């Protein structure tokens, strides 16, 4: 008899070249069909790499801040690929401006990317997972999720709001079989943007003082794999030398 079991689907929103791509590849290693999205930029190389490793994948361009585009993305995946088992929201939004230089446009854009997009992605996931009584929704947080910092009023506001959203969703959806988790990335992640934004800070770090994307992606997999008798809502990850 043919095996009719459908392949698990992982939807990675914000599959950038570093952490997002690492998360996609980690779930691909476990046999998931990967749906990787980003607002713009190349997805071909990531999809090719996942397929070469033996899994299957699709890449779509979609703006997570746009309600229609998010809804259309979910409909396309669920109707053409399969039920989504896990969603990872990994959209950034990090900007650095003093409060006097923070324009309403800058603040609004950071909030839209961090918080409003997280709401749209989380809501659409819940709408589809609730009838099934299962699923996992994971959000990427930052140091700014827990504490404001000099020059990061906009980013901190957005990330604080995202964490509050994730907490509310976890309390509501957990008893209904849906695991909601939040990963606080409390440290610099190895990538080109980090080096460009914080060159002096990067240079000051000790050996192994910057988080490697593959190591961080392992945490997302571990959260997903937890049995429901011991679900974790929040994990904060930092290099050994990063101050608390």
pLDDT at 225: 97
Q: Is residue 204 part of a domain?
A: no
d(Cα 51, Cα 43) in Å, to the nearest integer?
A: 12
Question: What is the total count of domains within the chain?
Answer: 1
Task: Give domain status of residue 208, yes or no.
Answer: no
Give the tens place of pLDDT for each residue, 63-112: 999 999 999 999 999 999 999 999 999 998 788 888 889 899 988 999 99
> How far apart (Å, rounded) are the C-alpha atoms in residues 120 and 68?
10
Q: Is 196 inside a domain boundary?
A: no
Give which of 185, 83, 89 is closest to 137, Cα–Cα. 89
Per run of 10 residues, the mean pLDDT along the chain (length 244 residues) is 64 93 96 96 94 94 97 97 97 84 90 96 98 98 88 88 98 98 90 70 78 95 97 95 81
Q: What is the pLDDT of residue 125?
A: 98
**Residue 204 burial (CB count, 10 A):** 9
Please list the residues that pair with 137 across neighbouring strands.
87, 180
What's 74's domain CATH number? 3.40.50.720
Look at residue 232 and tell me if it is in a domain. yes
Structure tokens at 166: 């994730």
Find the angle CA(244)-CA(163)-CA(172) to the nearest 5 degrees.
130
Number of Cα atoms under 13 Å in the Cβ half of residue 229:
0
Cβ proximity of 43 and 36 under 8 Å? yes
Task: Tokens for 228, please give them.
Answer: 């429901």
Q: What domain range is 44 assigned to?
A: 9-187+213-237
Q: What is the pLDDT at residue 95? A: 80
**CB-count burial class (<10 Å; 0-12, 13-18, 19+) for 42:** exposed
In this structure, are strands 84-89 and 135-142 parallel, antiparallel, or unpaired? parallel
Q: What angle do CA 24, 160, 188 make, to 5 degrees?
A: 50
Confidence (pLDDT) at 194: 67
Give the integer Cα–Cα distance in Å for 101 and 205.
Answer: 28
194 falls within a domain: no
Phi, psi of 32 (to 5 degrees): -70, 145
Position 206 in a domain: no
């Amino acid at each position: 008899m043919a095996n009719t079991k459908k392949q698990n689907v992982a939807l990675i929103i914000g599959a950038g070249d570093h952490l997002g791509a690492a998360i996609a590849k980690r779930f691909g290693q476990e046999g998931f069909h990967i749906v990787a999205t980003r607002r713009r930029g190349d997805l071909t190389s990531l999809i090719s790499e996942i397929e070469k490793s033996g899994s299957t994948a699709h890449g779509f361009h979609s703006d997570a801040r746009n309600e229609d585009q998010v809804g259309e993305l979910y409909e396309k995946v669920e109707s053409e690929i399969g039920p989504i088992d896990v969603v990872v929201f990994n959209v950034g939004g990090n900007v650095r401006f003093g409060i006097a230089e923070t324009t309403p446009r800058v603040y609004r854009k950071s909030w839209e990317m961090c918080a409003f997009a997280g709401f749209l992605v989380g809501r659409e996931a819940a709408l589809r997972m609730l009838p099934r009584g299962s699923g996992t929704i994971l959000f990427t947080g930052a140091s700014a999720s827990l504490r404001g910092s000099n020059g990061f009023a906009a980013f901190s506001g957005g990330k604080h709001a995202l964490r509050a959203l994730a907490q509310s969703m976890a309390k509501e959806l957990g008893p209904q079989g849906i695991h909601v988790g939040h990963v606080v990335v409390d440290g610099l992640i190895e990538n080109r943007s980090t080096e460009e934004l914080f060159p002096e800070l990067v240079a000051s770090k000790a050996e192994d003082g910057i988080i490697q994307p593959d190591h961080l992606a392992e945490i997302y997999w571990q959260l997903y794999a937890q049995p429901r008798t011991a679900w974790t809502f929040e994990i904060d990850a930092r290099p050994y030398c990063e101050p608390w």
